[in-house]
Amino acid sequence: MRKENMKIKKAVFPAAGLGTRLLPITKSIPKEMLTLVDKPLIQYGIEECISAKINDIIIVTGRGKNSIEDYFDRSIEHEIILKEKGKEHLLKSVEDLSNAANLSYTRQKEALGLGHAILTAQNLVGNEPFSVVLSDDIIDSRIPVMKQMMGVYKNLGHSILAVQRVQDKDIPKYGIIDAEEIQKGVLKVKDLVEKPEIREAPSNLAIIGRYILMPDIFEFLRKTKPGKGGEIQLTDAIKSLLSTQPVYALEFEGTRYDGGNKLELLKAQIIFGLKNPGLRTGLIDFINNLELV
C-alpha cells in the first residue's frame, strides 16, 4: 500500500515545552496538565484522537513532566479508598481513556523546538503516516477536528494541516500558509512560513496544532537548521517536504482557544463549563448575578 493511503494509527503529543507564557504556574505544573473544567488539557486531545480511531498515543515529555505519566497510570491508593467508599466512578473517565489508548512516552532532553520534539518520536512512529496534536490548542467543535482531518485524508491522502484565519495582528504568532482552495474548506499548500512579520505574510491562514504528516517528514526534520527563535521548526521541515510531495490544509469547523494565553484559557473554561450538563445551570445563574466587590 502507498504510504499516503495507509491508516493513521498513531498520534504524537509534544509535551516538553516550558510553558513560559503561563508562568509561574508552569514552574511545577506542566501546561498540558492545566485543568479545563474537570480534565487536563492533554486528555481532551487524546479523547479527540480516540474519536478519530487513533489509539496509539506517543507523548514526548521532558524534565518536570512526570505528572503526565502519573495521571494516566493507575493510582492504587485512590482505588482502595474509593472502593471502600463506593465512589469508583470518580476515576472512571481517566481509566476508560487509559484502557482505550495505548500510551507510550519518550523524552526530549532539551527543548530545541517543536520540530525536534517530533523527531524525538521517530522510533515510536516508524515508517507510517501519523498525526500530531498540540494540546494547548483547545478546539470546541461539533465534529472533533482530528476526525474532520481524517475525512480529508481518506479522500486526498498526504499531509494535512489544520488552519484557521486569524486577525492580522496575530499573524506573527503562527505558522502561516500560502494556499489555493481546491474544495470547500480544503486547500493545497503552496508555501509556509513560521511566524512572519505581518507585511511578509502570504495570507492570514494560520496553522493550528493538528497535523497529519507523512513519515518522510523525519528526513527533512533531521536536515532542518534552527529557524525562528533559534528552534528547529516543524513549519520549516513541512516547507521542505512540500518540494517533494503535496501538502493540504483544512479550514476546520470549530472555535479554537489558545490554552497558552490566560484570557483564552478563561474563555474556554466558560464555554466548556456551559457545555457540561452538570454545571450549565449553576454557571449561567452565577454569570447573570455577578457582582464584583
Q: Which residues bind ligand G1P (CB under 6 A)?
A: 114, 134, 137, 174-175, 194, 206-209, 233-235
Q: How far, in Å, are 91, 198, 205, 234 from residue 166 at the CA level?
A: 38, 11, 6, 20
C-alpha to C-alpha distance for 209 and 217, rounded to whole angstroms: 16
User: What is the bridge-based pairing of β-strands 102-107 and 175-183?
Assistant: unpaired
Cell of 195: 511566524
- To ligand G1P, the closest distance from the beta carbon of 172 in angstroms equals 10
For ligand G1P, the closer of residues 114 and 242 by Cβ is 114
For ligand G1P, the closer of residues 75 and 261 by Cβ is 261
- To ligand G1P, the closest distance from the beta carbon of 176 in angstroms equals 8
For ligand G1P, the closer of residues 41 and 97 by Cβ is 41
* Helix/strand/coil for 207: strand
- To ligand G1P, the closest distance from the beta carbon of 287 in angstroms equals 28
For ligand G1P, the closer of residues 157 and 259 by Cβ is 259
Looking only at Cα atoms, what is the longest distance across the chain? 65
- To ligand G1P, the closest distance from the beta carbon of 125 in angstroms equals 19
Please identify which residue in the block is written with the cell numbers 500510551. 103
- To ligand G1P, the closest distance from the beta carbon of 258 in angstroms equals 7
Report yes or no: 259 and 265 within 8 Å, Cβ to Cβ: yes
C-alpha to C-alpha distance for 79 and 91, rounded to whole angstroms: 8
For ligand G1P, the closer of residues 57 and 134 by Cβ is 134
Among all residues, whose Cβ is closest to ligand G1P? 175
Q: Is 33 exposed, middle or buried (0-12, 13-18, 19+ CB in 10 A)?
A: buried
For ligand G1P, the closer of residues 122 and 235 by Cβ is 235
Please identify which residue in the block is written with the cell numbers 481509566. 95
C-alpha to C-alpha distance for 252 and 208, rounded to whole angstroms: 10
- To ligand G1P, the closest distance from the beta carbon of 33 in angstroms equals 17
